[in-house]
Amino acid sequence: MGNPKGFLEIKRKEAGYRPVRDRIGDFGEVEQTLNLEDRIDQASRCMDCGIPFCHWACPTSSKIPEWQDAIYRENWEEAAQILQSTNSFPEFTGRVCPAPCEKSCVLSLHNSPVTIRENEASVIEKAFDYGYIKARPVAKRTGKKVAIIGSGPAGLSVADLLNQAGHSVTVFERDDAIGGLLRYGIPDFKLDKHVIDRRLELFVEEGIEFKTNQDIGVNVSFADLEKEYDAICLAIGAMKPRDLPIEGRDLSGIHFAMDFLKQQNKVVRGDEFSKQERISAKGKNVVVIGGGDTGSDCVGTSVRQKAKSVLQIELLPKPPAEREEHNPWPYWPNTLRTSSLIWKDVKDVGL
């Protein structure tokens, strides 16, 4: 902890999003960045708590206070090393993680936690800019071969760790590109796909093999995999949407979120679809059922496709805007709040 009075002297400052009128006109990332001085100030707000609740709440057990201190000392290489010691992809989590670390940060008692997620994204982007993130050659191979089925974040993390342990890893993906939900489930305005490609290039250099259009059990036999590999890891998503078997479900114009989002991500990539295939919200009154992250992504995509109106419906009550005394972490926030924030912005521009 570089500055013991950091959180007393410096207020939380978020980088914020690009102005609404700009960002709804394209599919570029919405989040902005802070300047260097502000970012270091934000890291200095971390108190290096004796009991770092942020670390406990983080699904990757990130050593958060340690890399905040490295940011404060402007040692971006060290900060990135600490980050990557528990997480293969800080550039993904720094962009799209709902940040339970911040909800559990001691400073959130006063609703101004350390900007942990943004700090994470800054560290890894600086580390890439300065050339600290390079392919790590594997010194010794074990001779063991592992097949990983599925190339989403879980499959890629497993691939990274097993490859670094010396095993020869091949990742099999059913789709036409690597990344799973990162590639096709998350819109470009939250995660630009060059961020995935940049990491994949390093993995290829490190020796991981990727195979696309491999539908195990359909055009690739599981028995063949068993013969060729010493171990097989299943890292597949369910890809089974929750349907609503209610009256009118079979009417036209009703789509599952993933079909809608995936197609838009492909369009951003440059793919073309016929009029019959295209799922477009342009000029339509859109209803999004579901208020989680995926619902939010559908709202953002519909707005960018120039929907006439967008209405989002959520089963649960609207969560409180701020943490309340009777409702501390881990009970708050028990619902992600991205959708309501975006909906507020949509109303702001009069859609």
Question: Does residue 299 bind ligand SF4 (CB under 6 A)?
Answer: no
Least separation in angstroms between CB 65 and ligand SF4: 4
Element (H, E) at 286: strand 285-289
Our CB check for ligand SF4 shows the closer of 222 and 331 to be 331
Q: Which stretch binds ligand SF4 (CB under 6 A): 17-25, 52-60, 86-94, 271-279?
A: 52-60
Instruction: Please give the structure tokens belonging to residue 4.
Output: 């013991």
Instruction: Please give the structure tokens belonging to residue 172.
Output: 């099999």
Our CB check for ligand SF4 shows the closer of 114 and 186 to be 114
Our CB check for ligand SF4 shows the closer of 55 and 304 to be 55
Least separation in angstroms between CB 183 and ligand SF4: 31
52, 155, 180, 300: which one binds ligand SF4 (CB under 6 A): 52
Question: Does residue 53 bind ligand SF4 (CB under 6 A)?
Answer: yes
Question: Does residue 159 bind ligand SF4 (CB under 6 A)?
Answer: no
Instruction: Please give the structure tokens belonging to residue 125.
Output: 């982007």
Element (H, E) at 8: helix 6-9
Least separation in angstroms between CB 77 and ligand SF4: 21
Instruction: Please give the structure tokens belonging to residue 322.
Output: 């701020």
Question: Does residue 146 bind ligand SF4 (CB under 6 A)?
Answer: no
Contacts 24+ apart (CB under 8 A), 72-80: 72/1, 72/2, 72/3, 72/40, 72/43, 72/44, 73/2, 74/40, 76/123, 76/126, 76/127, 76/130, 76/132, 77/127, 77/130, 77/132, 79/123, 79/127, 80/123, 80/124, 80/126, 80/127, 80/132, 80/133
Site for ligand SF4 in 20-49 (CB under 6 A): 46-49
Our CB check for ligand SF4 shows the closer of 27 and 72 to be 72
Question: Does residue 54 bind ligand SF4 (CB under 6 A)?
Answer: yes
Contact letters for ligand SF4, residues 106-135 (x by CB under 6 A) = xx------x-x-------------------
Asked if residues 349 and 300 have their Cβ atoms less than 8 Å apart, the reply is no
Compute φ and ψ for 139, nearest 5 degrees: -65, -45
Question: Does residue 6 bind ligand SF4 (CB under 6 A)?
Answer: no
Q: Which of 233, 99, 238 has the alpha carbon at shortest distance from 161?
A: 233
Q: Which stretch binds ligand SF4 (CB under 6 A): 100-108, 187-195, 223-231, 316-324?
A: 100-108
Number of residues this chain uses to bind ligand SF4 (CB under 6 A): 14
Asked if residues 55 and 65 have their Cβ atoms less than 8 Å apart, the reply is yes
Our CB check for ligand SF4 shows the closer of 72 and 260 to be 72
Our CB check for ligand SF4 shows the closer of 65 and 187 to be 65
24, 29, 41, 65: which one binds ligand SF4 (CB under 6 A): 65
Q: Which stretch binds ligand SF4 (CB under 6 A): 72-80, 104-112, 192-200, 302-310?
A: 104-112
Least separation in angstroms between CB 203 and ligand SF4: 30
Least separation in angstroms between CB 320 and ligand SF4: 21
Element (H, E) at 148: strand 145-149
State the maximum Cα–Cα separation within the chain, in Å, rounded to a whole number.
63
Cβ-Cβ contacts under 8 Å for 237 (sequence gap 6 or more): 150, 152, 180, 181
**C-alpha angle 161/59/29, rounded to 5°?**
90
What's the CA gap between 157 and 59, in Å, rounded? 13
Cα-Cα-Cα-Cα dihedral sign, residues 313, 319, 322, 323: negative
Phi-psi region of 217 (alpha: psi -120 to 50; beta: other; left: phi over 0): left
34, 43, 96, 105: which one binds ligand SF4 (CB under 6 A): 105
Our CB check for ligand SF4 shows the closer of 67 and 128 to be 67
Binding region for ligand SF4 (CB under 6 A): 46-49, 52-54, 64-65, 105-107, 114, 116
